[in-house]
């Protein structure tokens, strides 16, 4: 589906001194088929959105890596990515920062009549893993397995690949289980597959009970400090749009074509999981938990995922205050 570049509000607003001033344009890189696309469409179509001090310019990006390249090159002002990447960049002197968007996470999925009922049952099986060896869900799943004296890295036959490829692998019975991103897990569940554990369940098994967002908006701190009010308004408008998608069937109906499925049960499950990923609490407690996860991932990846810094970098998380 092609993206349309659209703007929210008018191009000019009036300052407190009566002078017309240009609004802040937020150039946001968006992947096709991502849930951010849903949210921005809901925001665009909302008749209650009033002219504010920002306007959006939507720029399509092919995938997550392309979005990172565009942000670092200055082609866009904002993307959706993860805070681990942000902290690793800040350790090198970059000033990117993160504001939470969703805590929906990936999942371990098996066929309906699979003999795999727990992580222990993966021993000797074929596992498809979305992403690569440094995928954070894969690293954390290994850590949880280690608590049960199971070395997953040595005891399963691994297949790494892009999520659509991994889904096809299990459909064709080339793997026995898949560890994949949440919306690809949902598409399998809509076809009769079932979930063994999700990312939040893995973290709870590792003693981290706080709901830590998996992804969020990433942007330059220096740029945001110059446009605080506009950024604040955008985040508030986005949250309102998400709430409407979760509470208004009429709003949800408008974005169903963006789910790229005609199956009603899959559509409903996509909506359910999307809404469950809302970030309701984001404070010191959750940010300290993120720091613990960061240390754990650094150890598990031998610092290849997190970079050379042992601790989460100051400024990784943007504050609206």
| 292 belongs to a structural domain | yes
Please indicate, yes or no, if residue 197 is contained in any of the structural domains.
Answer: yes
62 and 146 co-located in one domain: no
Q: Let me know whether 242 and 190 are in one domain.
A: no
Question: Are 185 and 222 found together in one domain?
Answer: no
The verdict on residue 160 lying in a domain is yes
pLDDT of 12 above 70: no
- Does 201 share its domain with 252? no
Question: Which has the higher per-residue pLDDT, 53 or 222?
Answer: 222
In terms of domains, do 242 and 191 share one? no
Name residue 13's beta-bridge partners: 21
**Model confidence at 10, in pLDDT bands (50, 70, 90)?**
very low
Residues 106-112, mean pLDDT to the nearest whole number: 97
Q: Does the residue 86 lie in any domain?
A: yes
Backbone angles phi, psi at 38, to 5 degrees: -60, -50
Per-residue pLDDT tens over the stretch 129-146: 998 999 999 999 999 999
- Residue-range definition of the domain harbouring residue 136: 107-205
Sheet with 126-130: strands ordered across: 157-161, 126-130, 177-180, 107-110, 194-198
- How many separate domains does the chain show? 2
Pairing of strands 24-31, 54-61: parallel
Q: For 178-200, write each residue's pLDDT tens digit.
A: 999 999 999 999 999 999 999 99
Residue 120 falls inside a structural domain:
yes
> What is the pLDDT, as a whole number, of residue 293?
97
Would residue 184 count as lying in a domain? yes
Which of 205, 232, 267 represents a domain boundary (last residue)? 205
Q: Looking at the structure, do residues 111 and 94 belong to the same domain, yes or no?
A: no
Q: Is residue 33 part of a domain?
A: yes
Write out pLDDT tens, residues 75-102.
999 999 999 999 999 999 999 999 999 9
Q: Which CATH number covers residue 163? A: 3.40.190.10
Q: Rounded to the nearest 5°, which phi and psi values hold at 281?
A: -135, 125
């Amino acid at each position: 589906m092609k993206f349309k570049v659209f703007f929210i509000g008018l191009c000019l607003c009036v300052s407190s001194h009566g002078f017309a001033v240009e609004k802040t344009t937020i150039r946001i890189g968006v992947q096709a088929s991502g849930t951010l696309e849903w949210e921005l469409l809901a925001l665009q179509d909302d008749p209650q959105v009033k002219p504010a001090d920002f306007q959006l310019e939507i720029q399509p990006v092919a995938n997550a890596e392309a979005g990172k390249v565009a942000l670092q090159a200055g082609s866009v002002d904002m993307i959706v990515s993860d805070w681990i990447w942000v902290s690793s960049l800040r350790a090198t002197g970059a000033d990117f920062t993160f504001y939470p968007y969703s805590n929906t996470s990936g999942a371990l999925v098996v066929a309906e009549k699979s003999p795999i009922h727990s992580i222990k049952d993966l021993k000797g099986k074929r596992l498809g893993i979305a992403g690569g060896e440094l995928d954070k869900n894969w690293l954390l799943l290994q850590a949880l397995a280690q608590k049960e004296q199971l070395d997953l890295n040595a005891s399963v036959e691994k297949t790494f690949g892009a999520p659509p490829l991994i889904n096809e692998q299990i459909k064709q019975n080339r793997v026995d289980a898949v560890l994949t991103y949440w919306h690809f897990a949902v598409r399998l569940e809509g076809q009769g597959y079932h979930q063994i554990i999700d990312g939040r369940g893995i973290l709870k098994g590792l003693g981290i009970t706080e709901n830590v967002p998996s992804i969020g908006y990433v942007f330059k701190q220096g740029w945001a400090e110059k446009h605080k009010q506009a950024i604040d308004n955008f985040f508030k408008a986005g949250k309102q749009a998400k709430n409407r998608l979760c509470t208004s069937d009429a709003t949800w109906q408008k974005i169903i074509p963006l789910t790229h499925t005609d199956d009603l049960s899959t559509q409903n499950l996509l909506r359910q999981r999307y809404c469950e990923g809302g970030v309701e609490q984001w404070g010191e407690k959750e940010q300290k938990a993120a720091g613990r996860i960061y240390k754990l991932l650094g150890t598990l990846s031998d610092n290849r995922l997190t970079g050379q810094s042992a601790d989460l970098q100051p400024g990784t998380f943007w504050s609206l205050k």
